[in-house]
Amino acid sequence: MSDNLKEIRTNIKRRQLINKIFAIIALLTIFVALIILLGLTLQLIIQGAPRLSVEFLTSFPSRKPEQAGILSAWVGTSLVMLVTALAAVPLGVAAGIYLEEYARKNWIADIIEINVTNLAGVPSIVYGLLALGLFVYQFKLGESIQTAGLTLALLILPIVIVTTREAIRAIPNSLREAAYALGATKWQTIWDHVLPSAFGTILTGIIVGLSRAIGETAPVITIGALTFIAFLPDSPFNAEFPFIPFTSNFPWINFEQLFAWLRAPFTLMPIQMFNWVSRPNPEFQLNAAAAGTVLLIMTLMMNGIAIYLRFLFRRGVKW
């Protein structure tokens, strides 16, 4: 018996030692990765800082590096991300709610779940080819902002769906049972109790998806994004009061002018950076670093807003 106890204790000590070694290796790996990431980010900021200015943000691309700017790139990125969010977020959250709360647990639901999970790992170029055949050629949307936004929406849709399902699944059943006990319907329970409680986690998944979409180049190049563009989309508003465009038959809104920017050609920040990096002039390399710094700031701002909103919801929602 004593020999068995000694062997058990020896095995336990050996496994504890292996666990400690694994934990140390994991921490060192994370530390090295963070150091490398921080070094690359600082190098990017230091290289691009001299070119950051108001003129750089408000100027169009140019053949002269000292006059080149990213106005059309950051405006195009903002508009495309707006279309992406408006298309992917409602549809993804609604799909997640249906699959988790309403869909019957059968083989059809299992197939849908497997396919949604697999779609999250499909290479982005595949979505670009799909959008080229579907949106550009089939639906005749052209090489426009709306096509780019819908393409990136397809790209992040599986992420939003999976995150929504996991967030809803994490809500305790006691919350649902309490709502049912007070006479609430299923939709009232979901809308008034489940979704507010899960919104913080859902928002995290949305921002992760948008952060991936904002840096994608392969899908948008496939559908025809421009590498050089020296104009902005038409403004949806008028310069004079009441600013909203109306038709001659007042008070009908001129929706054609209001949404004309959706059909405009576009470029994005990653494409503009690629264009500059591919040029031999070293001055364009500095422009690319400055554009990368602006793109990093835009991504951090999105994440900061998400973190703040998540904090507000988690502070206001109590189980």
Is this model's pTM higher than 0.85 or not?
no
For residues 55, 61, 67, 70, the Cα torsion angle rounded to the nearest 10 degrees is 30
- Each residue's pLDDT, cut to its tens digit, for the chain (319 residues) gives 566 777 778 888 888 889 999 999 999 999 999 999 999 889 988 988 888 888 888 888 888 888 888 888 889 898 999 999 999 999 999 999 998 888 888 888 788 888 888 887 788 888 888 888 888 888 888 888 899 999 999 999 999 999 999 999 888 888 888 888 888 888 889 888 888 888 888 888 888 888 888 888 888 888 877 777 877 887 776 666 666 766 666 666 666 676 777 888 888 888 888 888 888 888 888 898 999 999 888 888 888 887 887 777 767 655 4
DSSP 69: -
DSSP, residue by residue, 94-119: HHHHIIIIIS-SSHHHHHHHHHHHHH
Compute the distance between CA of residue 182 and CA of residue 185 in angstroms, rounded to an integer: 9
Amino acid occupying residue 223? I
Evaluated on CA atoms 42, 48, 54, 60, the torsion sign reads negative
The set of residues, in sequence order, having a beta carbon less than 8 Å from that of 270 and lying 6+ positions away, is 215, 216, 217, 295
246 bridge partner residues: 253
Distance CA 246, CA 95 (A): 36
**pLDDT for residue 152:** 92
Q: Would you state the structure tokens that stand for residue 227, as one six-digit string?
A: 């590498």
C-alpha distance across the termini of the chain, in Å = 51
